[in-house]
A = this chain, B = another copy of it.
Amino acid sequence: MTTSFPVNRALEIIGGKWRPQVYCTLQDGPLRFSDIQRAIPDVSRKVLTDQLRELEQLGMVRRVDYSTEKHLHVEYSLTEDALGLQPAMNALCSWGECHDNK
């Protein structure tokens, strides 16, 4: 269905309104759901969970549940596959920084 442009596979991951932020936020290491929310204040819980689930499905995000009987505790991190996108992300970022004007 999607044409054979390989770039589309990458844009499935970092495309969309919130995924780049989610990606950047998780680049620094595993975080809890509420930490991600604090880092991206404008995203709603529902949309954030949706995005995390989809990224998990795509094999880009790992969800680990450390909950005990006492406490809820879930951590999200990027997979190795996802970390492979870092050079591309950095290239996009530096382009964006160079085009700060306007």
User: A residues touching B (Cβ–Cβ < 8 Å)?
Assistant: 3, 5-11, 14-16, 20-21, 24, 40, 42, 81, 84-85, 87-89, 91-100
User: Is B84's CB under 8 angstroms from A7's CB?
Assistant: no
Q: Which of B9, B15, B91, B97 contacts A88 (CB under 8 A)?
A: B91
The oligomer's copy count stands at 2
A77 to chain B, nearest CB (A): 18
A20 CA / B95 CA spacing, docked (Å): 16
A89 in contact with B7 given A15-B15, A84-B95, A99-B81 (CB within 8 Å)? yes
Residues of B within 8 Å of A91, CB to CB, are 87-88, 91
Residues of B within 8 Å of A42, CB to CB, are 3
